[in-house]
Chain A
Amino acid sequence: MMDILFDTQLASFFTSAAFIIIGLFAAIFLDNIIKKIIGIAFIEEGANLFLVTLGYKPGGIVPIFLPGMNSEWFAANSAYALPHALVLTSVVIGASTLAVMLAIAMVLYKKHGTLSTSKILGDEK
């Protein structure tokens, strides 16, 4: 048990799983539209955290090749940089999705006067 707590990578994986599960719960079961959107942000961040964690290396160094470094030593010790680069893009996508969703929520609030999803989406037929 203590090993799990002190292993940074494993702990991060568990955190990302918890993010995704909490986010799914919020997005499915909560009625308030803002809470739903927060839950959705949780799912996205969970997936991003998962990707970041993949690039982690215990005791690794920053993956920047400086002059004078031994390339063999660098290759053996640097963290994996690709997931970090990918997450940057995916965070931007997540943010724009979130912005669009909040904008729609604003419009719907003005139209219906309530934030309850069942009331907003239930009455249109």
Chain B
Amino acid sequence: MGLYDMIVNSFKEVRKKVVKDSATNESVSSALAAELTLISTLLIAAIMLRHFNITLTVVVILGLGLLLTTNMPLIPKIKREQDDSLEKMVFYAILTLGILITVIYWGQTNV
């Protein structure tokens, strides 16, 4: 019986490890879809810069493409940054406020 129990226990341990990493078929495929959506939409959105400057657009798109593809599993990183913790939410809120006010206030007066 001892050996049998050991085998069963080892199976249970292996199973625990597998279950903890809950990468099911569905979650992997959805993460993949989200990844592709993110990259493609960001690149398409970057084309809008052509209304200001063509050269800048080329540089930004090449840079953005390189940046996005080299940091490839983007979705786990984004998900980690957007979880429900208060600190991260407040951080991004204040960051947005800072950027918004800076750009609107000084961007207009010093151009």
Contact = CB atoms under 8 A, between A and B. Distances in A.
| Direct touching of A and B (C-beta under 8 Å) | yes
Interface of A: 24, 27-28, 117-118, 121-122, 124
A28 B85 contact: no
Interface string B8-24: 00000000000000000
B85 A122 contact: yes
10 contacts: A24-B94, A27-B90, A28-B90, A28-B94, A117-B86, A118-B87, A121-B85, A121-B86, A122-B85, A124-B84
B92 to A, nearest CB: 12
Interface of B: 84-87, 90, 94
Contacts of A122: 85
A117 B86 CA distance: 9
Contacts of B90: 27-28
A122 B87 CA distance: 10
Contacts of A27: 90
Given A28-B90, A121-B85, A124-B84, 4 more contacts: A27-B90, A28-B94, A118-B87, A121-B86
